[in-house]
Amino acid sequence: MSSIDRYAVIGHGLGHSRSPQIHALFAQSTGQPMQYGLIDVPAAGFAAAVRDFLAGGGRGLNVTVPHKEAALALATRLTPRARRAGAVNTLAHGAGGDATAVLGDNTDGAGLVRDITVNLGYALTGTRVLLLGAGGAARGVIAPLLEGGVGELKVHNRTPARAQRLAQEFADLGAIASGDGEAGGEYDLIINATSASLRGELPSVPPKACGPHTLCYDMAYGSSGTVFLHWARTAGAAGALMGLGMLVEQAAESFLLWRGVRPDTAPVLAALRT
Ligand code: ATR
């Protein structure tokens, strides 16, 4: 067994993953001795792959599509934000001094809010936000958005019943509702949390939702932007931003959980953008 602490991202279809590069840069800048690899397994192989990795001394995993709900089931303990999200994107082995414990956390929402408020300098307080999608990616960011001061959050989904369920589930946290295509006027911020971008598709957006004051944010990222961001520019949005900053910020939150040190994200984001 190697004496250096080992971490990895686990997902399926990881060819494009930037996580190894991000964590290598964090490790370098904070002087943390660690290795970070990549485990690509389909859903059926997830639990066995995690068990093998941890049994071999692995210290932690970032979990991505399509394993975030399986990771929730596998964790022996959950942070409150992971329980609330109903999805886990970070596993930490041996947390709290218990060598057998596998702590499940969700850093996606914190990463999104930090990217929007700190990196982009955008104040969420009192804003009207339209969230597109009602899957795992959407549910992970709802609580942090409402706790981050959003004034009104509308969830819009291709399958309206899923958006209704999410709105009910998080109703105790603030003004959240589902929007089934009715005209909700112009929003301050539209966040694409659907997986449509991954297939080069454009999710439906309610008419007139995007205007000259609207900031559009795609949680997905791609080297030449996404279909949603191209649409946003054509629709005259005030800004069209891709989720690379969210990726770096959620990684930094995971790194903090694992190593107890928060890495500086700005130089890493700059390196990824070049
Ligand atoms: P993830 O964990 O990435 O959120 P998911 O749970 O499968 O994955 O959810 C995918 C989300 O993207 C859903 O909201 C899905 O809409 P449905 O609930 O109607 O399936 C949405 N989505 C995927 N492709 C889409 C498309 N082409 N247009 C609109 N929404 C789409």
H or E element, residue 30: helix 19-30
- Residue of the CA atom closest to atom 12 of ligand 1: 194
Please state, for a pLDDT cut of 70, what percent of the chain lies above it.
98
Ligand 1 neighbourhood includes 197 CB (under 6 angstroms): no
Ligand 1 neighbourhood includes 159 CB (under 6 angstroms): yes
| Residue 123 pLDDT level (bands cut at 50, 70, 90) | very high
Q: If you measure from the C-alpha of residue 154 to the centroid of ligand 1, how many angstroms do you get, rounded to a whole number?
A: 16
Evaluate whether 84 touches 139 at the Cβ level (below 8 Å): no
pTM of the model: 0.94
Residue 9 has pLDDT above 60, yes or no: yes
Clarify whether 68 is annotated catalytic.
yes
CA dist., res. 116 & res. 136, Å (int): 20
Ligand 1 neighbourhood includes 98 CB (under 6 angstroms): no
Q: What is the pLDDT of residues 196-242, one digit of tens each?
A: 988 899 999 998 999 999 999 999 988 788 999 999 999 999 999 99
Phi and psi torsions of 165, nearest 5° = -60, -45
